[in-house]
Structure 1
Amino acid sequence: MPGKFCINLTCAKDNPDKATVAFVVANAAVASDQETVVFLSTEGVRVAVAGYADEIAEEGFAPLKELMANFAAAGGKIYVCSPCFKKRKLDETALVAGAVMVGGAKLVEFMSTGCPSLSY
């Protein structure tokens, strides 16, 4: 029976290393049969906009765009903090594959039965 795993990402181009590593770990979790959610909050919501992550490529890692696409294709979910997204006046019609707008209650529901989480 698969478990759950949650990663909270709070940065984007302001810290591309953390943004990249968050999705490296997320891919490892989903590949390990964990129901995996990446929760994007504060500045992290920016990576949910199609095209934004295209320029992020940290040495030694696959490009962030590729990591995100692989994560979504493997069944990973990307939860985007709706208030954080709206505060930044981003385009809700331009979300990347696997991304959905959520409020805090959706994250609490996912984590309510207990699951490990990491924050970047």
Structure 2
Amino acid sequence: MTDGQKVLVNLATGLEDAERVTIAFLVATAALDKGKPAAIWLTKDAVRLALPDEAKGEACDGCPPLERLFGQFADGGGELLVCPICFNSRKLDESQLVGNARIAGASPLHDWIGEGATVFSY
């Protein structure tokens, strides 16, 4: 059951900083575990994480595998909102987005936020 308080994680880095990616997915998945709707807004090179087989590897010794975190986030109902400018500038294929991802610019992002959200930024 949800308490209605949404959690938005802004992730502006991809696997060039895998520790930030790990932390972002840990925070977002923890929100889902607490019954909060959660989304990760992927910007800059993080948009690549919305493609199959991109979120993989371990960021550090003892860090959970990104594949597991990615799966837990998706299985928990988490959404990936993908910046269209960032995605298109990298000439990526929208038809390849994973099932819980969708292109969402600033206006759809605000629609998702609605009456408010707790925001984390990595």
Determine if the TM-score, normalized by the shorter chain, exceeds 0.5: yes
Shift of 1:91: 1.9
Partner of 2:88 in structure 1? Answer: 86
Partner of 2:10 in structure 1? Answer: 8
Please state whether the residue corresponding to 2:103 is helix, strand or coil: strand
Shift of 1:36: 0.5
Amino acid at match of 2:68: E
Establish whether residue 118 from structure 1 lines up as the match of residue 83 from structure 2.
no
Shift of 1:22: 0.3
Amino acid at match of 1:4: K
Please state whether the residue corresponding to 2:8 is helix, strand or coil: strand
Please state whether the residue corresponding to 2:16 is helix, strand or coil: coil
Of 81, 94, 97, the match for 1:95 = 97
Of 34, 37, 45, the match for 1:35 = 37
RMSD: 1.2
* CA distance in structure 1 between the aligned counterparts of 2:58 and 2:97, rounded to whole angstroms: 20
Of 51, 67, 70, the match for 2:69 = 67
> Which sections of structure 2, spanning at least 5 residues, go unmatched?
none
Percent identical: 34
* CA distance in structure 2 between the aligned counterparts of 1:87 and 1:9, rounded to whole angstroms: 17
Contact 2:5-2:116 at 8 Å conserved across structures: no
Contact 2:11-2:41 at 8 Å conserved across structures: yes
* CA distance in structure 1 between the aligned counterparts of 2:63 and 2:95, rounded to whole angstroms: 29
Contact 1:40-1:81 at 8 Å conserved across structures: yes
Shift of 1:97: 2.9
* CA distance in structure 2 between the aligned counterparts of 1:62 and 1:93, rounded to whole angstroms: 29
Of 32, 50, 53, the match for 1:51 = 53
Please state whether the residue corresponding to 1:19 is helix, strand or coil: helix
TM-score (norm 1): 0.92
> Which sections of structure 1, spanning at least 5 residues, go unmatched?
none
TM-score (norm 2): 0.90
TM-superposition CA deviations, 1:75-99 (whole Å, max 9, x none): 1111111111001111212222311
Q: Which runs of 4+ in 1 moved over 6 A?
A: none
Amino acid at match of 2:51: V
